[in-house]
Structure 1
Amino acid sequence: MATQTLRGTGVVSGFAYAPAAWTRPAPVPPPVTGTVPEEDRPAEVERFKAAAETVAQRFADRASAATGVATEVLGATAALARDRGWIRSATKLINAGGTAESATTQAIEGFVEQFEKLGGVMAERTTDLRDIRNRVIAELMGLPEPGVPQPTHEVILCAEDLAPADTAGLDPSLVKALVTKLGGPTSHTAIIARQLGIPCVVAAATLDLVPEGELLLVDGTSGILTTSPDPTEARRLVEEDAALHAEIRSWSGPAATSDGTVVQLLANVQDGAAARKASGGSAEGVGLFRTELCFLTAKTEPSIDEQARIYGEVFAAFPDKKVVVRTLDAGSDKPVPFANHEHEENPALGVRGIRLGWTNEGIIDRQLDAIAQAAEDNGVTDPWVMAPMIATVDEAFEFAGKCRERDLKPGIMVEVPSAALLADQFLAEVDFFSIGTNDLTQYTMAADRMSSHLATLTDPWQPAVLRLIQMAADAGKRAGKPVGVCGEAAADPLLACVLIGLGISSLSMATNAIPAVGVQLGKVTMDQCREVAARVVEARNSRDAKELARTALM
């Protein structure tokens, strides 16, 4: 086969070389040849409900067996598979004479249409919905589950898109890389590939040109795919990458540049179990405790005592170390059942984060009470607390006041560009910043971060995004206050060097991403990082910015 070069968006660095293996296609439902007789409809309803519950339970079982982010996304998909809305819709269609297969298709497509109209991060759930549809139909037809094949040799997994259930159960000893036609830098595929530690390229529009079994070289840093590459060169690149991974596995911290500049590397966690796992590794603390993920299935608001117990588990995992608690970032793609979430045309720009307090009186105050109680119970002095989606100085002032009333150290997430543009004024009110690069990127570039068509725009390497990060970091230096990064960008080893060069004081990421970042930081000097950062913010586009940094630092 002739060598071809294809391009996507590289989201997890590294090289892989193996035959391409495509996911199994979705089942084709049998044609509808009339209506189900009325007397058979109750049995057809039960057949449908049994299949739906089987699929939901498989998701739940995989969630229990998984760790980290995989647990989160699989648990959310299990809940979606059991959602009463679509189950009720399908049941109604069966009672009107439809088959279980046709009702499943119609009901799911109805919800897909609704989610696509909502846009924002809700649109990302359409992949999950269609995956549920395909698995339920396969169960009804007595077919194997669609999706990822079970390889017996090393492969590079290729797909149009991958649902959480596909990526969460992958064996990284056999699946050496992930490549998808769709998806973006913060999609489930990218996040779980990062957790597995395998190269990943998304938004590779011409991936269809790669046939099953063709040898493929994947460069997860540049996003370049090479079909039928020179075998000697491909193996050399993979061997060098394997040596780097061996170095990463042996790294234990703490992080510092080669000339001795210390860099604080922290963990993103969602509960006590994740915090305990992080404390057993090289994390120096917690830079982002996502409290809303503790309550995705809570029908009623937990009491202050109940919340304090949950938060206390995270404090207890890192005694005498930094733990940054984020107040509820519910709304948009993370609805919390006990919060009042009104229907919105564009939830990503709606009532989410700190704005929940507008429609749920006292919800933020009670959470702050619980955090303060948890800190006191665990002997934590000066606990760090930050609010998401702060857009005005008045919001920062009000939040900081509530924190200080409870002896909490107040900070805000920099996700809305206004916070970076007015960084000096915001830092006059709070004690620290933490930059959420996922949302900051989508709001800066006016691009849905879950849209595969916009993956280039939602790349955190966009110079405009890096310029805003620089503005926030510079304000931190002037005020003598710390500015960290806790978005997915912090887990990119190359971008981490640029971020500290811009003046970022700490980086928070998935626990298993910490060693790779630590190793890369140890290979560069602080002067190199500053010099590259100054050049990157002047780049023309994200591709040029990344290539410039790669050439200078690797």
Structure 2
Amino acid sequence: MTELRGVGIGLGVAQGPVARMAEPLPAPDDGPSGLSGAEETARVREAVAAVARELEQRGAQAGGAAQDVLEAQAMMAEDPSLEAEIDTRIGAGRTAEFAVYDAFATFRDTLTAMGGYLGERAADLDDVAQRVIARLRGVPAPGVPDPGYPFVLVAKDLAPADTALLDLDKVLALVTTEGGPTSHTAILAREKSIVAVVGAVSATGLVEGEMVIVDAAAGVVTTEPSAEELERARNRAADRASAAAAPITPGALGDGTPVPLLANLGKPEGAVEAVALGAEGVGLFRTEFLFLSANQAPTVEQQRESYTQLLAAFPGKKVVVRVLDAGADKPLAFLNDAHEENPALGLRGIRALRASEDILREQLTALAEADAATDADLWVMAPMVATVEETEYFVAIARDYGIKTAGVMVEVPSSALLADRILVDADFASIGTNDLTQYTLAADRLLGSVAAFQDPWHPAVLRLIREVGDAGRIHGKPVGICGEAAADPLLAVVLVGLGATSLSMAPTALADVRASLLLYSLDDARTIAEAALAANDAASARDAARAAAARE
């Protein structure tokens, strides 16, 4: 038995024989073309257009986040800068195949060097190039194998076009040797609830037909498992399936302490699935989708329409909307187009909105109008609040527009440490664990070289969360969690023990967290939290919490 470690996506476990993704097409020869430049250019234009349309069609068939990803890939295929690079190589006498291969490779290397989110888009470029070259050669593009039985798919990385349309009756789990938690494989696996472990470098040694266990919760792929291990994995999978199929009840601890379980959403269209999966409301609605694809801010009318659609899906339930969080990895030309050496520490969140206050006022106008037209319980919060003064500013301006419940996101250590003062004015606090971890440990969440620091189990992060929980209890104000940490079933218990009064997560994680909370009382949760706090690092905190949970 061998354990191969990577990054687990989701919380499930699966087992089955390995089937490996086909190897990429061989690189084209760097020889002169026997065709004219015009003929080669025409071949490229046809192939690129055909691939782009195929990606769009796959996206329309898949829907959801997959559609967004594949439409972005189609735009990538037809990028004018890439077209110019291809034309330059054809002009130098190269074949269309080599021109595509070399131009895409140059762009891929540039993205890889950037690291983080952009670095993980390099695999998307490789996939587009492979598809265009296959079209030029008149051969099928490498795709998902079909051995004739259910299998664990092992690949270097999985292209979005393949992930989007996986047959989940055949693909039991995914294992990739590259990629990380923000790769498109991870994003789409999370959305589809596919058991996946990404970035498992040692998985290159897995062979066709080999039996493995893929444990996403632990981030481990086990080779040559014993019969006992296979049985244990089957029981875990069955227990998880039972929990998912159980009647949906409000989130609560085993002693009846209510812990509302809410959904993180990026578009109104996600509301239907969230409700079906048991979301009791929305703990984080990201409004960036309205802004990121636009050259100018959307109108009040456009915003009101989207917010009304969202609120109408949750009559009588809490819906927490975050006003625009731009800057850092989400720059907007009409909000802040100035170059910043370190945008994560620059003009982002509430700072950027104060610098362009008309955008904030229009957003609050649209939210107030949508609130008046629906029966949801609207809460509105500001991102990246760092000071008491910023809290006072946002709450005051929100009140001007009739927003009844105005709060702040706690994403930087200063606001956590000042939570007892911030919650004098704010109606609630919502902790964004992704950014709070980034700023606490000084580790850019988009930089692969420091990814190991991006762990919300770290006791320094947990201490800051406790500060906010204590402040909420003192002032009688709600404290929610809306970062990825809330989707970890055991960490969810710890967060409640630290004072969180609600948890918000991707809808697919709701069933696991609901089942986990029911195993413990509030006193148990506090005991488990204290065990984690006493540790010196993230791994030790996780182990200490597991040990404490086993005793309760």
Q: What TM-score, normalized by structure 2, do the two folds share?
A: 0.90
1:208 match: 204
Structure 1 residue 484: Cα displacement: 1.0
Change (3 A) 1:143 1:35: closer
Structure 1 residue 348: Cα displacement: 4.2
**Separation in 1, partners of 2:37, 2:519:** 67
Q: Is residue 384 from structure 1 mapped to residue 379 from structure 2 by the alignment?
A: yes
Change (3 A) 1:149 1:228: same
1:28 match: 26
Segment of structure 1 superposing worse, 447-456 or 311-320: 447-456
**Separation in 2, partners of 1:439, 1:121:** 15
Counting aligned pairs with the same residue, the percent is 46
Equivalent AA in structure 2 for residue 423 of structure 1: A
Equivalent AA in structure 1 for residue 382 of structure 2: A
Segment of structure 1 superposing worse, 317-326 or 409-418: 409-418
The answer to whether the 8 Å contact 1:14/1:220 transfers is yes
Summarize the alignment of residues 49-198 of structure 1 with structure 2, pairs less than 5 Å apart: 49-116=45-112, 118-150=114-146, 152-198=148-194
The answer to whether the 8 Å contact 2:121/2:183 transfers is no
Change (3 A) 1:400 1:15: same
1:322 match: 318
**Separation in 2, partners of 1:344, 1:141:** 44
The answer to whether the 8 Å contact 1:187/1:450 transfers is no
**Separation in 2, partners of 1:510, 1:48:** 40
1:239 match: 235
**Separation in 1, partners of 2:426, 2:107:** 41
Structure 1 residue 102: Cα displacement: 2.9
Segment of structure 1 superposing worse, 125-134 or 319-328: 125-134
Q: Is residue 521 from structure 1 mapped to residue 529 from structure 2 by the alignment?
A: no
Equivalent residue in structure 1 for 2:283, among 281, 284, 287: 287
Equivalent AA in structure 2 for residue 531 of structure 1: T
Change (3 A) 1:537 1:163: farther
Cα offsets for 1:442-491 (capped at 9, x unmatched): 33333343455544322322332222222222222222211111122222
Summarize the alignment of residues 371-410 of structure 1 with structure 2, pairs less than 5 Å apart: 371-379=367-375, 383-408=378-403, 409-410=405-406
Across the two proteins, how many residue pairs are aligned to each other?
A: 549
Change (3 A) 1:349 1:181: farther
**Separation in 1, partners of 2:384, 2:114:** 19
Summarize the alignment of residues 449-528 of structure 1 with structure 2, pairs less than 5 Å apart: 449-451=445-447, 453-528=449-524
Change (3 A) 1:395 1:43: farther
Equivalent AA in structure 1 for residue 288 of structure 2: E
Structure 1 residue 380: Cα displacement: 5.2
Equivalent residue in structure 1 for 2:17, among 16, 19, 26: 19
Higher relative contact order (CA 8 A, sep 6+): 1
1:276 match: 272
The answer to whether the 8 Å contact 1:251/1:515 transfers is no
Structure 1 residue 405: Cα displacement: 1.0
Equivalent AA in structure 1 for residue 225 of structure 2: P
SS at match of 2:120: helix
2:363 match: 367
Equivalent AA in structure 2 for residue 65 of structure 1: Q
Equivalent AA in structure 2 for residue 401 of structure 1: A
Structure 1 residue 429: Cα displacement: 3.7
**Separation in 1, partners of 2:104, 2:349:** 29
Q: What TM-score, normalized by structure 1, do the two folds share?
A: 0.90
**Separation in 2, partners of 1:73, 1:426:** 38
Equivalent residue in structure 2 for 1:42, among 23, 38, 43: 38
Change (3 A) 1:142 1:296: farther
Segment of structure 1 superposing worse, 416-425 or 110-119: 110-119
**Separation in 1, partners of 2:66, 2:303:** 23
Structure 1 residue runs of 5 or longer lacking an equivalent are: none
**Separation in 2, partners of 1:363, 1:188:** 31
Structure 1 residue 137: Cα displacement: 2.5
2:216 match: 220
**Separation in 1, partners of 2:443, 2:101:** 30
Change (3 A) 1:324 1:175: same
Change (3 A) 1:460 1:159: farther
Cα offsets for 1:488-512 (capped at 9, x unmatched): 2222222211211111111112222
**Separation in 2, partners of 1:58, 1:352:** 37
**Separation in 1, partners of 2:422, 2:494:** 24
Q: Is residue 10 from structure 1 mapped to residue 8 from structure 2 by the alignment?
A: yes
**Separation in 2, partners of 1:140, 1:429:** 63
The answer to whether the 8 Å contact 1:124/1:451 transfers is no
Change (3 A) 1:354 1:44: farther
Structure 1 residue 245: Cα displacement: 1.2
Cα offsets for 1:306-357 (capped at 9, x unmatched): 1111111001111221111112233444455765544555544444433443
**Separation in 2, partners of 1:473, 1:265:** 17
Cα offsets for 1:193-232 (capped at 9, x unmatched): 3333333323323222322321112222222322111134
Change (3 A) 1:281 1:229: closer
Equivalent AA in structure 2 for residue 431 of structure 1: D
The answer to whether the 8 Å contact 1:45/1:100 transfers is yes
CA RMSD of aligned residues (A): 2.8
SS at match of 1:318: coil
Structure 2 residue runs of 5 or longer lacking an equivalent are: none
The answer to whether the 8 Å contact 1:156/1:177 transfers is yes
The answer to whether the 8 Å contact 1:121/1:348 transfers is no
**Separation in 2, partners of 1:96, 1:347:** 39
Structure 1 residue 379: Cα displacement: 4.9
**Separation in 1, partners of 2:334, 2:42:** 30
The answer to whether the 8 Å contact 2:314/2:376 transfers is no
Change (3 A) 1:183 1:449: farther
**Separation in 2, partners of 1:536, 1:5:** 25
Change (3 A) 1:81 1:164: same
Change (3 A) 1:232 1:325: same
The answer to whether the 8 Å contact 1:121/1:332 transfers is no
Equivalent AA in structure 2 for residue 399 of structure 1: F
**Separation in 2, partners of 1:349, 1:35:** 50
Change (3 A) 1:282 1:461: same
Equivalent AA in structure 1 for residue 18 of structure 2: A
The answer to whether the 8 Å contact 1:17/1:216 transfers is yes
SS at match of 1:481: coil
SS at match of 1:176: strand
SS at match of 1:182: coil
